[in-house]
Amino acid sequence: MNAIPRPSAASTFIHRYVPASAPGRPPVLLLHGTGGNEEDLLGLGERVAPGSALISPRGKVAEGGANRFFRRFAEGVFDEDDLIARTHELADFVAAIRAQEGLPAPVALGFSNGANIAAALLLLRPEVLAGAVLLRAMAPFRNPPQAAIPGTPVLLLSGDMDPIVPAENAARLAATLTGAGAEVTHQVLPTGHGLSSPDLSLTHQFLAGLGTPAG
């Protein structure tokens, strides 16, 4: 795998970029969980989206030395002002790297904190993504903004033993995205907050069903 550092104008985020090796596959925006970095999900991306271009930024917020994409006040209590600002910053980065590399809109693949900001991208900057895989995501906003994402494919995978994401919260996120017009598949797996083999197989199947998005 040829992961290329990109210290260019598009690089408002430290990130890794892996060029596509197969035609007709949508790029994948990899968004790590708390404590991860730009390297964390490259192997996962290669496994579930073989041949796709991979964009993997590092979250710019430090919490006790752990990288995150936005601040929080406590577990599950988000600093929504910071979340909004960081979401727009990430969206602008995606637009810049798309222009730099000549890419169509990517599909986000986010885990935990990364999945939460991916959900915020769908609601605040819907033009940025062609779809999303949200692994152990929570509803990012107490009062979600009005959004229109008709037909946008979203896979939301939750764990029925997840100590971090309440079942009601994940269901509320699914309802919010569905209400905005997204084509949401929400599956609750017999697992906790960590990823399992079914997460990988379901994500691979979902991404394999997507062609290169327009634009």
Is the CB of residue 115 less than 8 Å from the CB of residue 136? yes
In terms of phi and psi (left: phi > 0; alpha: psi -120 to 50; beta: otherwise), the region of 131 is: left
What's the rounded Cα separation, in Å, for the pair 81 and 79? Answer: 6
| Nearest C-alpha neighbor of 114 from the set 169, 54, 57 | 57
Residue 88 appears among annotated catalytic residues: no
How does DSSP classify residue 129? -
Of residues 56, 162, 186, 199, which has the active-site annotation? 162
204 is catalytic: no
User: Among 111, 90, 91, which Cα is nearest to 157's?
Assistant: 111
CA-derived radius of gyration, the chain: 16
Beta bridge mates, 153: 183
Residue 30, token pair as written in the block? 């990899």
112 carries an active-site annotation: yes
Cβ–Cβ < 8 Å for 38, 69 = no
- The catalytic position among 112, 158, 186, 199 is 112
Which of the residues 11, 79, 82, 193 is marked catalytic? Answer: 193
**What distance in Å separates the CA atoms of residue 158 and residue 35, rounded to the nearest whole number?**
20
Helix (H) or strand (E) holding 206: helix 197-208
* Distance separating alpha carbons of residues 195 and 189, to the nearest angstrom: 10
Residues that are catalytic: 112, 162, 193
